[in-house]
Amino acid sequence: MAAMVLSRIDQDELLGALYALDDIQPFAAFLERLRRRTHAREAVLLTRSVTSGWKSHVSRISNATALPPVPRGLLQTLRSGRLYDFEELGEGGSGRIIRASNHRNDVWIGIRGGASDCFGAPDGALLSALSSHAAIAVSNMARLRDSQIELAAANAALDRAGVGWAVLDEYGEAVTGQNHDVSSRQRAALVNGVNDGARVAVAGQAIAIPFAAGGRGAALALFREPVQSIDRAAAFAAAYGLTGAESRMAIALAEGASIVEAAARLNLTEQTARHYSKRLYAATGARGQAELVRLVWTSVAALA
């Protein structure tokens, strides 16, 4: 079949919806427009990837009974780039389907109807013209979701460490990131410092470093936020074979408490607290409180 050039209307109506990257209902608007365009009972987009497995997106006539799904084993036998007729495949009803593959995904796009429905050559040509676009759109959606996962993971890790961030443009305006009480004058000072060649610029309680990914003159601002700890004591106990009480003593000392202050915080006698501290030094190999503090904040406990 000769390649079809999409009309201006199809480009606006179909490709615009296909590349919209809707997180809530991906490809829903595109499939609905494709179904209406071809007068199909169903328009389908099926995808398969190593990371997310199979996904199915369907648009069908309101209140219509769903057609039986196309067997996945059959889909995998279809040759990429060739248009197939459902009668040719031995599936009930009428319709057309085509497969497009790339290094990230396999994509099948099709239109389906009942036995009395008829799809002509223009419908098949339209699917052929759309198939490569569908593969690109699915890959873009996968990349977007990968980026969203990476950003969420990075933010969760920074929350554990009590670090906030914001990307500042060349004028000191926050492009993206977290809200923080840094004045416009301080943001400008941070960006100016970075653009003047400072490896680390400081203004108030925030620092900034060069950030080429943010664009010309951009800077990455970092500042302290409340630490979102899960259970540092449990992590330190597991790392060094300590009891929960001993580990809680270590965390209290690492946070700046004296032995007397730690005993009061943990409802211990001073004698018990001193016994725990000796156990801590023996178990960790620390030769004093300063080294114990260093061990706490360089161990897995700092990540918990």
Residue 63 in this model has a pLDDT that exceeds 90:
no
pLDDT, position 4: 57
**Same domain assignment for residues 214 and 238:** no
User: Which two tokens mark 202?
Assistant: 């400081």
**Same domain assignment for residues 242 and 271:** yes
* Count of residues making up the chain: 304
pLDDT, position 211: 92
| pLDDT level of residue 1 (50, 70, 90 thresholds) | very low
Q: Which alpha helices (DSSP H) does the chain contain, by range?
A: 8-10, 16-18, 28-38, 72-75, 121-161, 184-195, 232-240, 244-254, 259-265, 270-284, 289-298
C-alpha dist (Å) from residue 103 to 100, 107, 280: 11, 11, 53
Q: Is 33 helix (H, G, I), strand (E, B) or coil?
A: helix
**Same domain assignment for residues 61 and 137:** yes
Residue 169: partners with Cβ closer than 8 Å, 6 or more residues away: 175, 191, 214, 215, 217, 218
**Structural domain for 294, as ranges:** 232-303
**Same domain assignment for residues 210 and 80:** no
DSSP conformation class of 1 = -
Q: Do 208 and 168 contact (CB within 8 A), yes or no?
A: yes
Instruction: Report the C-alpha gap between 60 and 80 in whole angstroms.
Output: 25
**Same domain assignment for residues 87 and 125:** yes
**Same domain assignment for residues 42 and 115:** yes
Residue 300 in this model has a pLDDT that exceeds 80:
yes
Instruction: Report the C-alpha gap between 222 and 204 in whole angstroms.
Output: 11
**Same domain assignment for residues 213 and 237:** no
| pLDDT level of residue 2 (50, 70, 90 thresholds) | very low
Share of the chain above pLDDT 70, in %: 98
**3 within domain boundaries:** no
Mean pLDDT value across the chain: 90
Residue 267 in this model has a pLDDT that exceeds 60:
yes
What is the tally of structural domains in the chain?
3
- Give the Cβ contact number of residue 214 at 10 Å: 18
Long-range contacts of 125-128 (CB under 8 A, 24+ apart): 125/1, 125/2, 125/4, 126/4, 126/6, 126/10, 126/34, 126/37, 126/38, 127/83, 127/96, 127/97, 127/98, 128/1, 128/3, 128/4, 128/83, 128/98
**Residue at 145: amino acid letter:** R
What average pLDDT does this structure show over 200-228?
A: 90
**Same domain assignment for residues 132 and 34:** yes
**Same domain assignment for residues 190 and 249:** no
Predicted model pTM: 0.74
**271 within domain boundaries:** yes
